Structure 1
């Protein structure tokens, strides 16, 4: 993980634009996108992103995004995420693309870490307007590089509902092995769905491409 220092984060205020005008740390994903630590410092921008996407996300996350976000709850959740980052149990990230006045948040990724077991579970989502640009592939590649490199993890798990074709395609493209199906394990307000479990071991990881190389002139 290569975080580049900058100036203290200054989130844009307002529900329409999820932009961070400056970020204390960024993790490059090429010359057009970065990962930013998902902490309370970017609460307003993160809130705007979730507010624009929660209805679509509700179909994939049975335990989240079922109600409109509340800013105070968003702040509290991000404080908790920041604590997880500090104690090493969580790697909370926002996916951002270059904007005229800073970085526009367009997605979310995280690694829930079990240090004792040297394992983790990866999760991610992206604003529908930014699907198809390779952002999730670059994000997952960067996070897995960090998991199996500096963090020294031996295994990463990925779970998704059986009908989430996009997420399953990402898992398979990244070299994950489907390890099983938990029948009706994903609980939603009006139904239950099967949950597919994927696993990737450190010795199996083959990065498709580096994502943190400096841009070429």
Structure 2
């Protein structure tokens, strides 16, 4: 079970079924701010939907294909970060993340992504971590930029969000670059 203490107020903890209700409440309270960038928000209508998501993440972990963690700040769940999947043959993964309403702009996500990249490269032995964000999602794009990821390009009309396609900007970090910049 993954748990990572970031500082005195913040920790990352792999999601489990005990997190269902607090995660559903956070998702539900944050729908308006999350809807613009996360297509699953409108289909999360009850705690049963959140439970199904957590069960899926538990299967992801048991299949050795990564995991999802809650971002906990002052003992309250503030968001989620996780590996989409792990490509063990190519030693690569991609990250996804979101914060609930009221937690943005506090540095929580930058700290959380740093911890996940450290884990991916240092503990799992991966060579590459990728982050994709919608071109217009400047808050999400700021995270890899702040952590010195390389902007590698654009994937046109990569995702359908509500009623339109958005382009993704692709960011990558290689183990050799991460190790140089984090010593």
Deviation at 1:108, TM superposition (A): 0.7
Residue 176 of structure 1 is matched in structure 2 by 149
2:67 paired residue among 91, 94, 102: 91
Q: Contact 1:141–1:207 at 8 Å: present in 2 too?
A: no
Instruction: Go from structure 1 to structure 2 and tell me whether the alpha carbon gap of 1:205 and 1:48 turns closer, same or farther (over 3 Å shift).
Output: same
2:130/2:170 contact within 8 Å kept? yes
Q: Paired residue for 2:125?
A: 152
Specify the SS of the correspondent of 1:90. Answer: coil
SS at match of 1:180: strand
3-state SS of the aligned residue for 1:195? strand
CA separation of 1:128/1:209 partners in 2, compared to 1, >3 Å: closer, same or farther?
Answer: farther
Aligned with 1:198 (options 157, 171, 175): 171
Give the conservation status (yes or no) of the 8 Å contact 1:38–1:94.
yes
Cα-Cα RMSD: 1.9
Deviations 1:55-112 (A, max 9, x none): 32121123x11244321121122111012112220221000112xxxx1001110012
**Alignment partner of 1:43 out of 12, 16, 20:** 20
Q: Which runs of 5+ in 2 are unaligned?
A: none
Find the residue that maps to 2:154 and give its secondary structure.
strand
2 CA distance for matches of 1:160 and 1:207? 25
Between the aligned partners of 1:194 and 1:154, the Cα distance in structure 2 is 25
Cα distance in 2 between the residues matched to 1:29 and 1:207: 21
CA distance in 1, matches of 2:26, 2:37: 16
Is 1:52 paired with 2:29? Answer: yes
The two structures have a TM-score, normalised by structure 1, of 0.78
Aligned to 1:10: none
Alpha-carbon distance change, 47 to 87 in structure 1, aligned in 2, over 3 angstroms: same
Equivalent residue, structure 2, for 1:81: 57
Partner of 1:12: none
For residues 150 and 66 of structure 1, what CA distance do their matches in structure 2 show?
35
Structure with the higher fraction of residues in helix conformation: 2
Q: Which residue of 2 aligns with 1:104?
A: 76
Change (3 A) 1:122 1:39: same
Structure 2 Cα separation of the partners of residues 51 and 72 of structure 1: 13
Hey, what's the Cα distance between the residues in 2 that align with 1:86 and 1:174? Answer: 30
Aligned residue pair count? 182
Shift of 1:206: 4.7
Residue 137 of structure 1: aligned partner: 110
Shift of 1:54: 2.3
Structure showing greater radius of gyration is 1
